[in-house]
Amino acid sequence: MSIKQTKKQAQLSLSEQHSLLRLDKEHVWHPYTSMSEPLPSYLVESAHGVMINLASGEQLIDGMSSWWSVLHGYNHPKLNKALQEQAAKMSHVMFGGLTHQSAITLCEKLIALTPNGLDKVFLSDSGSVSVEVAMKMALQYQHAVAEKKQCVLTKTKLLTVKNGYHGDTFAAMSVCDPVTGMHQIFEQVLMPQYFAPAPNIKFGEPWSTDEVTELSRLFAKHHHDIAAFIIEPIVQGTGGMRFYHPEYLKACRLLCDQYGVLLIVDEIATGFGRTGKLFACEWADISPDIMCLGKTLTGGYITLAATLCSSHIAQTISEGEAGCFMHGPTFMGNALACAVANASIDLLIENNWQSQVKGIENALNTLLSPLAEHPRVADVRILGSIGAVECKQTVNLAQIQKRFVELGVWIRPFGQLIYIIPPLIITTMQLTTLINAIATVLNEEQCFN
């Protein structure tokens, strides 16, 4: 059989494409779109390197890394090989009472790469679950501390900042921004938490200690009730692609120490080099008590997340009433996911991620920054491999998406933000095409509301 024939067989006819898309529209939920008037979905046939290949024939340069998760490109031979080799041994075994090399190796790698003091790893299925695990760890820790001291447990709430995003499950939702997280809909069921103003001084701007006045006041007033403080380090992603001053994160660390509050850092979006540091909390030179990892952990291949904590937290929980941590997902330590995560981390180091990220950052500085002059643009922000264009109007998602596809790129804006976070292997030429596409749509009235 010739290669050409194989390709032809794999391709869907026009009527097959239409029928699949009709079924999709009829029965399949997609994230954050109406089920009665859904935004269009594009049918993907395959993806390779930085290209997403649509069934309709268009080839799109991927600017989104499939929501921050792809690092080394799609269909990578080394990642594929890791999966195949693991599948040939076993895809999964229960983690209760059993263990395996892929999970052990991954946990050792994570401990070695993350900031000092994070020595115990809890593997779970997704970012949101890793946040649930982090919150539960903090609450169970404070329970054990109160028990040990024989005092009444009061530290049962979390403190966080506005504009945050930590996932879509209920505990995670309770610490998301109350407005964009639509807290009013779930008022009766969400755990009430404390919210400080969002960090305001931008990354790279001069620092002022006034920035933490209100945060300090909240710590001083409510620390008896607060088990942990949770924050996305340096980059508030879904809450508006806001890059804040590292001194803010340093202040958070100090306040947590002062008031016996645990610091949870949600590195799900920022981890593995995205911001120019391997982990964003390195910008502030701090170690959290608990860290959440997800998204890029498997290089965008399979869902997997990790919650790391200090030995002290693990020990305290283990000495408490339950005698163990009360969590155990069915697919904990999934072998396929761990194997591909190991291969992805190896590639990160092999490919010299620092120079990959620096290359993207330099290109963004040269090519994306000038868009700040455009009359429709309010601000352009760049950090590491992240580039965001904040517009003065909200985008018309259906229109802008259609135009991007016509221009050969995959960029999915939200609200007033058009941002790119490309796979690390993107070339300057491909990056130029992405940025030119943004420049083009900025001139098109129909792409904005």
Ligand X SMILES: *Cc1c(COP(=O)(O)O)cnc(C)c1O
**R_g of the chain computed on alpha carbons:** 23
CA dist., res. 25 & res. 16, Å (int): 14
Count of residues making up the chain? 449
The Cα–Cα gap between 243 and 388 comes to: 10
**How far, in Å, are 164, 170, 188 from residue 191 at the CA level?**
16, 8, 9
Dist CA 250 CA 138 (whole Å): 20
- By beta-carbon proximity to ligand X, the closer residue of 30 and 48 is 30
248 is catalytic: no
Please report how close the Cβ of residue 65 comes to ligand X at its closest, in angstroms. Answer: 12
Q: Residue 166, interface with ligand X (CB under 6 A)?
A: yes
Which residues fall in the annotated binding site? 67, 127-128, 165, 266, 295, 328-330, 412
For 214, other C-beta atoms within 10 Å of its C-beta total: 12
Residue 61: phi, psi to the nearest 5?
Answer: -75, 125
User: Which residue of 233, 294, 299, 384 would you call a contact of ligand X, by CB under 6 A?
Assistant: 294
Residue ranges of the binding site for substrate: 67, 165, 295, 328, 412
Instruction: Figure out which of the listed residues 269, 290, 368, 380 binds ligand X, where binding follows CB under 6 A.
Output: 269
The question of whether 24 is a catalytic residue gets the answer no
Nearer to ligand X, 70 or 435 (CB): 70
Chain-centroid distance of CA 163 in Å reads 15
Helix, strand or coil, per DSSP, at residue 242 = strand
Using rule CB under 6 A, residue 244 touches ligand X: no
Of the pair 178, 408, the CB lying nearest ligand X is at 178
CB of 288 to ligand X, least distance (A): 13
Q: How far is CA 262 from CA 32, 218, 253, 308, in A?
A: 32, 15, 9, 13
Answer for the pair 206, 189: CB distance below 8 angstroms, yes or no. Answer: no
End-to-end CA separation in angstroms for the chain: 51
* 131 interacts with ligand X by CB under 6 A: yes
Q: Is 225 a catalytic residue?
A: no
Instruction: Say which of 62, 125, 177, 266 is annotated catalytic.
Output: 266
Residues 386, 295: Cα–Cα separation, whole Å: 15
- Cβ 236 to ligand X, closest distance in Å? 8
Could you say whether residue 242 binds ligand X (CB under 6 A)? no
Q: In this chain, which stretch among 2-10, 114-122, 266-274, 423-431 interacts with ligand X, using CB under 6 A?
A: 266-274
Taking CB under 6 A as the criterion, the residue among 62, 247, 266, 289 binding ligand X is: 266
Binding flag, residue 237, ligand X (CB under 6 A): yes
Among 132, 232, 247, 289, binds ligand X (CB under 6 A): 232
CB-based contact 316:346 (threshold 8 Å): no
> Taking CB under 6 A as the rule, does residue 268 contact ligand X?
yes
Residue of minimal Cβ distance to ligand X = 127
DSSP code, position 40: P
Q: Which residues would be at the binding site for ligand X (CB under 6 A)?
A: 126-128, 131, 165-167, 232, 237-238, 266, 268-269, 294-295
Catalytically annotated residues: 32, 165, 266, 295
